Amino acid sequence: MRFKGRAEKMVRAASVLVTVITLIWLTYFFSESLISCLMLVWKHTVGRVDVPVLGAAGNMEIGLIGWGGFCIAIMAVCGMRKRLEAVFRGKPGKWYVVLALPLLVVTVVTYAANWGAGYGILYRSGGNIGLYYDQIFSHVGWGVLSGLSLFAVGVYVFGMNRIYVEQEKAGQYRAQVEVYQMLGEQYRQAERLRHDLKNHVIALRGLWEEQAWEKLGDYLKRMEDNARFVSNEEATGNRAMDALLCQKRKMAEDKKIEWECDVRIPKQCRINEFDLCVLFGNILDNALEACERLGQREREQEIRPFICVHAGTVKSCFLLEVKNSMHAAERPKGGPAGKDDPHGHGIGLLNVGDVVHRYDGAMHKKIQDGVFDISVLLPLGECRI
C-alpha cells in the first residue's frame, strides 16, 4: 500500500531489502559458526570439559551466541553502507529484479538449511569420533558454506554493478563516436563551402544583377544549411577539436554562459583525436550542466555562469585545465576510481579517468568559492608544437 502506483520504487525497495537481508543472514551464520567453534574449544581446553555441548548451561548460552553473531553481521553491513549506496543508486527497474531474484533464492535455501540443521549440528559420526568433534566439524562445515555463499553474493552484487557501469560507459562512448562523426562531417561540409566560396560569390553576384531576389534567398538558405557552424574561432591545430569546441561554445552562448577558450593541440603526439574528444567532451558537458544548475538566487547575486578552458604543452606534457561556476552547495559526483556514484557526471568522469590512465597521466579536482577546477596532465613523450 505504501508504494501503490509506484512499481519501480517498490521493486527498488524490495531489491535493497532482499540484498541487505541476504548479507546479514549469511554474515550471521558465518559469525555464529565461528563463535560456536571458539566456545567449544574454550570449554574443552580452558574449562577442562571432556565433551562440551553448547546449550548445556541453558538457553542463555545459545542466546549469547546468536546475539553475538547478529551484532557482527549488523556492523559488517553498516561498514559497507557507502559501497552499497553506490551500487543501488540510479539503476533501472529491471536491474533490481535481476539482482534480487538469485539473492532471494539464496536467502530461502540458507534459511531452510539452517532450520533443518538445528544449532549447527550437520554431521554425526555415530559415536566414532565423539560428540565434541561432531560439533566442531559441523560448525566448521556450516561456517565454510556460509562464507562461500557470502563471497558469492558479494561477487554477484558488486559484479552486477561493475557490469552496469561498464555498459553505461560503452554506451556513452558509442554516442560520443556518433557525435564526433557528425561534427567531422559538418566540418568537411564547411571546408567544401569555403573551397567553393569563389564560385558561390560569382553565382550570388549574377542573381543580384538579375534582381532574382527569390532565387537569391533560396541560394543563401542552402549555403546556410550546408555550413551549420564556422570554426575559425577555435583554431586549436586539430580539426576534430575545432569542431567539438565550436559546438560547445555555441551551446554555452545559447545558455548565456560566458566562454573563454585558449587551446593549443600539439601537431605530433601520442594522444589520438578520439581520446582528446572524450577528454574535452566529457569535462565540458559536465561544466555546461553545472552552469545550467545555477539557481536564480545566484544569478540575482550577479554570479554569472562561466566556463574557462585552457590547454597546451607544458614541458613534455599536455595540460588541460577547465574552470566553471557551480552551485555553492553542490559537490561533483564520481571519479576515475569509481568510489562514488557512478552515474550522471560520474560516468563522464570515469571515461575521463580511463583516458588519463591509458596515457599514465594525472587528474586533479578542486572546489573553491563556487568554482569547480579540474586539471588533467598527460605525458606526451617526444612531440613538437
CATH number at residue 279: 3.30.565.10
pLDDT of amino acid 373:
92
Residue 256 and residue 147 share a domain = no
Q: Which residue has the cell 559536465?
A: 286
Judged by average pLDDT, the poorest of 88-102, 230-244, 315-329, 359-373 is 230-244
pLDDT of amino acid 339:
38
Could you give the 3-state DSSP secondary structure of residue 106?
helix
pLDDT at 43 over 50: yes
pLDDT in tens, 344-382: 445 677 788 888 988 889 999 988 888 899 999 998 865
Does residue 69 belong to any structural domain of this protein? yes
Instruction: Write the CA distances from 177 to 40, 59, 168, integer angstroms.
Output: 63, 66, 14
Handedness of CA 172, 174, 178, 181 (dihedral sign): positive
Q: What average pLDDT does this structure show over 114-141?
A: 64
CB 69 within 8 A of CB 31: yes
| Ramachandran area for residue 315 (φ above 0: left; ψ -120 to 50: alpha; else beta) | left
Does residue 138 belong to any structural domain of this protein? yes
pLDDT in tens, 317-333: 899 999 998 876 665 54
| Exposure on the CB side of residue 255, measured as CA atoms within 13 A | 22
> Residues with Cβ < 8 Å from 289, sequence gap 6 or more?
345
Q: CA 326, CA 286: separation in Å to the nearest integer?
A: 10
**Band (229; pLDDT cuts 50, 70, 90):** very low
Task: Give the cell for residue 99.
Answer: 539482482
> Residues with Cβ < 8 Å from 89, sequence gap 6 or more?
341, 343
Residue 344 and residue 266 share a domain = yes
Of 171, 186, 202, the residue that ends a domain is 171
Residue 160 and residue 47 share a domain = yes
pLDDT of amino acid 322:
94
Residue 149 and residue 11 share a domain = yes
pLDDT of amino acid 48:
78
Radius of gyration of the chain (CA): 32
Does residue 125 belong to any structural domain of this protein? yes
Nearest to 278 by CA among 180, 207, 190: 180
Does residue 360 belong to any structural domain of this protein? yes
pLDDT in tens, 132-167: 777 777 778 778 888 888 888 888 888 888 888 777
pLDDT at 174 over 50: yes
Q: CA 70, CA 31: separation in Å to the nearest integer?
A: 8
Q: CA 355, CA 375: separation in Å to the nearest integer?
A: 13
Could you give the 3-state DSSP secondary structure of residue 338?
coil
pLDDT at 184 over 70: no
pLDDT at 384 over 50: no
Question: What's the mean per-residue pLDDT of the chain?
Answer: 76
Residue 161 and residue 268 share a domain = no
CB 242 within 8 A of CB 187: yes
Q: Which domain holds residue 333?
A: 235-379
Could you give the 3-state DSSP secondary structure of residue 325?
strand
Of 141, 171, 201, the residue that ends a domain is 171
**Band (336; pLDDT cuts 50, 70, 90):** very low
CB 19 within 8 A of CB 100: yes
Does residue 230 belong to any structural domain of this protein? no
pLDDT in tens, 194-208: 666 767 777 777 888
CB 204 within 8 A of CB 218: no
User: Cα–chain-centroid distance for residue 159?
Assistant: 13
**Band (59; pLDDT cuts 50, 70, 90):** low
pLDDT of amino acid 327:
75
Burial class of residue 377, CB neighbours in 10 A (0-12, 13-18, 19+): middle
Query: Where do the H-state alpha helices sit in the chain?
Result: 7-45, 59-79, 81-88, 93-117, 131-195, 197-209, 213-226, 239-254, 273-292, 296-300, 345-358
Judged by average pLDDT, the poorest of 4-13, 14-23, 279-288 is 4-13
Residue 160 and residue 253 share a domain = no
pLDDT of amino acid 231:
44
Q: CA 249, CA 265: separation in Å to the nearest integer?
A: 17
Nearest to 122 by CA among 137, 144, 106: 137
Other CB atoms within 10 Å distance of the CB of residue 340:
18
Q: What average pLDDT does this structure show over 15-26?
A: 83
Does residue 371 belong to any structural domain of this protein? yes
Total structural domains in the chain? 2
Q: What percent of the chain has pLDDT over 70?
A: 71
Across 131-153, b (16+ Cβ under 10 Å) vs e yields ebebbbbbbbebbebbbebbeeb
Residue 279 and residue 135 share a domain = no
Q: What average pLDDT does this structure show over 60-88?
A: 82
CB 265 within 8 A of CB 244: no
Residue 257 or residue 100, greater confidence: 257
pLDDT in tens, 255-306: 889 999 988 888 777 788 778 888 888 899 889 988 888 765 565 566 788 9
Of 152, 171, 190, the residue that ends a domain is 171
Q: CA 93, CA 9: separation in Å to the nearest integer?
A: 8
Residue 244 and residue 163 share a domain = no
Q: What percent of the chain has pLDDT over 90?
A: 8
